[in-house]
Protein backbone atom coordinates (compact mmCIF):
# COMPACT_ATOMS: atom_id res chain seq x y z
CA UNK A 1 0.00 0.00 0.00
CA UNK A 2 2.89 2.33 0.77
CA UNK A 3 4.39 1.66 -2.68
CA UNK A 4 1.16 2.66 -4.44
CA UNK A 5 0.96 5.86 -2.41
CA UNK A 6 4.44 7.04 -3.45
CA UNK A 7 3.84 6.10 -7.11
CA UNK A 8 0.72 8.27 -7.45
CA UNK A 9 2.49 11.66 -6.87
CA UNK A 10 5.22 10.66 -9.29
CA UNK A 11 2.62 9.76 -11.92
CA UNK A 12 0.81 13.07 -11.42
CA UNK A 13 4.10 14.97 -11.64
CA UNK A 14 5.00 13.11 -14.84
CA UNK A 15 1.60 13.91 -16.40
CA UNK A 16 1.91 17.60 -15.44
CA UNK A 17 5.44 17.69 -16.88
CA UNK A 18 4.18 16.26 -20.18
CA UNK A 19 0.94 18.30 -20.42
CA UNK A 20 2.28 21.70 -19.32
CA UNK A 21 4.46 22.30 -22.41
CA UNK A 22 1.55 21.30 -24.63
CA UNK A 23 -0.71 23.85 -22.95
CA UNK A 24 1.93 26.59 -23.15
CA UNK A 25 2.68 25.81 -26.80
CA UNK A 26 -0.99 26.23 -27.69
CA UNK A 27 -1.35 29.54 -25.81
CA UNK A 28 -0.11 32.19 -28.31
CA UNK A 29 -2.82 33.64 -30.53
CA UNK A 30 -2.26 33.55 -34.30
CA UNK A 31 0.93 31.54 -33.89
CA UNK A 32 2.37 30.10 -37.06
CA UNK A 33 2.28 26.31 -37.44
CA UNK A 34 5.96 25.66 -36.92
CA UNK A 35 7.56 22.58 -35.51
CA UNK A 36 11.25 22.68 -34.74
CA UNK A 37 13.99 23.46 -32.31
CA UNK A 38 14.17 27.17 -33.21
CA UNK A 39 11.00 28.92 -34.44
CA UNK A 40 11.00 32.58 -35.48
CA UNK A 41 7.96 34.39 -36.89
CA UNK A 42 8.23 38.03 -38.00
CA UNK A 43 4.68 38.65 -39.18
CA UNK A 44 2.30 41.62 -39.51
CA UNK A 45 4.76 44.38 -38.59
CA UNK A 46 4.71 47.98 -39.79
CA UNK A 47 7.93 50.00 -39.71
CA UNK A 48 7.66 53.68 -40.60
CA UNK A 49 10.53 56.15 -40.63
CA UNK A 50 9.37 59.47 -42.09
CA UNK A 51 12.25 61.95 -42.38
CA UNK A 52 11.70 65.64 -43.09
CA UNK A 53 14.64 68.04 -43.25
CA UNK A 54 14.42 71.76 -43.97
CA UNK A 55 17.47 74.03 -44.00
CA UNK A 56 18.00 77.71 -44.79
CA UNK A 57 21.27 79.51 -45.44
CA UNK A 58 19.80 82.80 -46.33
CA UNK A 59 20.52 86.51 -46.05
CA UNK A 60 24.18 86.05 -45.18
CA UNK A 61 26.44 89.00 -45.88
CA UNK A 62 30.22 88.96 -45.68
CA UNK A 63 32.22 92.09 -46.31
CA UNK A 64 36.01 91.96 -46.17
CA UNK A 65 37.89 95.19 -46.81
CA UNK A 66 34.71 96.65 -48.27
CA UNK A 67 32.64 99.75 -47.76
CA UNK A 68 29.16 100.83 -48.69
CA UNK A 69 27.79 97.31 -48.79
CA UNK A 70 24.00 97.10 -48.58
CA UNK A 71 21.74 94.13 -48.65
CA UNK A 72 18.02 94.31 -49.35
CA UNK A 73 15.41 92.36 -47.44
CA UNK A 74 15.61 88.62 -47.76
CA UNK A 75 12.59 86.33 -47.46
CA UNK A 76 13.42 82.62 -47.27
CA UNK A 77 11.11 79.68 -46.76
CA UNK A 78 12.02 76.01 -46.64
CA UNK A 79 9.38 73.38 -45.96
CA UNK A 80 9.83 69.62 -45.84
CA UNK A 81 7.02 67.18 -45.17
CA UNK A 82 7.35 63.44 -44.81
CA UNK A 83 4.50 61.16 -43.90
CA UNK A 84 3.91 57.44 -43.88
CA UNK A 85 0.43 55.98 -43.55
CA UNK A 86 -0.29 52.29 -43.41
CA UNK A 87 -3.81 50.92 -43.24
CA UNK A 88 -4.88 48.96 -40.18
CA UNK A 89 -4.14 45.27 -40.28
CA UNK A 90 -6.95 42.78 -40.48
CA UNK A 91 -7.19 40.62 -37.40
CA UNK A 92 -5.97 37.11 -37.92
CA UNK A 93 -4.28 37.97 -41.23
CA UNK A 94 -1.04 36.18 -40.62
CA UNK A 95 1.29 35.14 -43.36
CA UNK A 96 3.60 32.23 -43.65
CA UNK A 97 2.85 28.57 -43.80
CA UNK A 98 3.53 25.29 -42.16
CA UNK A 99 7.12 24.51 -41.44
CA UNK A 100 8.70 21.46 -39.97
CA UNK A 101 12.42 21.40 -39.43
CA UNK A 102 15.25 22.12 -37.08
CA UNK A 103 15.20 25.90 -37.67
CA UNK A 104 12.02 27.59 -38.93
CA UNK A 105 11.83 31.25 -39.95
CA UNK A 106 8.77 33.05 -41.30
CA UNK A 107 8.97 36.67 -42.50
CA UNK A 108 5.62 37.59 -43.99
CA UNK A 109 3.08 40.39 -44.36
CA UNK A 110 5.42 43.17 -43.20
CA UNK A 111 5.35 46.81 -44.33
CA UNK A 112 8.43 49.06 -44.35
CA UNK A 113 7.99 52.71 -45.34
CA UNK A 114 10.79 55.29 -45.38
CA UNK A 115 9.67 58.51 -47.06
CA UNK A 116 12.32 61.25 -47.09
CA UNK A 117 11.61 64.93 -47.76
CA UNK A 118 14.46 67.44 -47.99
CA UNK A 119 14.16 71.17 -48.69
CA UNK A 120 17.22 73.42 -48.70
CA UNK A 121 17.75 77.09 -49.48
CA UNK A 122 21.04 78.82 -50.12
CA UNK A 123 19.98 82.24 -51.30
CA UNK A 124 20.49 85.90 -50.60
CA UNK A 125 24.16 85.27 -49.83
CA UNK A 126 26.47 88.19 -50.55
CA UNK A 127 30.24 88.32 -50.35
CA UNK A 128 32.14 91.54 -50.95
CA UNK A 129 35.93 91.43 -50.88
CA UNK A 130 37.95 94.53 -51.70
CA UNK A 131 34.77 96.17 -52.91
CA UNK A 132 32.79 99.32 -52.42
CA UNK A 133 29.23 100.36 -53.01
CA UNK A 134 27.81 96.88 -53.44
CA UNK A 135 24.02 96.78 -53.31
CA UNK A 136 21.98 93.61 -53.31
CA UNK A 137 18.28 93.88 -54.11
CA UNK A 138 15.49 92.10 -52.26
CA UNK A 139 15.58 88.32 -52.48
CA UNK A 140 12.73 85.86 -52.01
CA UNK A 141 13.50 82.14 -51.90
CA UNK A 142 11.21 79.17 -51.45
CA UNK A 143 12.01 75.49 -51.33
CA UNK A 144 9.37 72.87 -50.71
CA UNK A 145 9.63 69.10 -50.56
CA UNK A 146 6.93 66.54 -49.87
CA UNK A 147 7.32 62.81 -49.50
CA UNK A 148 4.63 60.33 -48.64
CA UNK A 149 4.04 56.61 -48.51
CA UNK A 150 0.75 54.80 -48.16
CA UNK A 151 0.50 51.07 -48.27
Is 49 contained in some domain? Answer: yes
Is 57 contained in some domain? Answer: yes
DSSP 56-101: EEES-EEEES-BS-EE--EEEEEEEEEEEE-PPPPTT------EES
Is 138 contained in some domain? Answer: yes
- The SS3 assignment for 3 reads helix
Is 91 contained in some domain? Answer: no
Please state the pTM of the whole predicted model: 0.53
Is 3 contained in some domain? Answer: no
What domain range includes position 51? 32-86+96-150
Per residue in 63-91, pLDDT tens? 888 888 888 888 888 888 888 887 776 66
Q: Provide the pLDDT for residue 110.
A: 85
Per residue in 84-127, pLDDT tens? 887 776 665 555 567 778 888 888 888 888 899 988 888 888 88
Q: How many domains does the chain have?
A: 1
- Per-residue confidence band for 138, with pLDDT thresholds at 50, 70 and 90: confident
Is 13 contained in some domain? Answer: no
Amino acid sequence: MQLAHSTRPRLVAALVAVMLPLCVAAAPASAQPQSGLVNVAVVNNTIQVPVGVAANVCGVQAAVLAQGVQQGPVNCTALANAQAVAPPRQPGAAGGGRQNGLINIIVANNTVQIPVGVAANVCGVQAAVLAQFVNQAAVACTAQSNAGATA
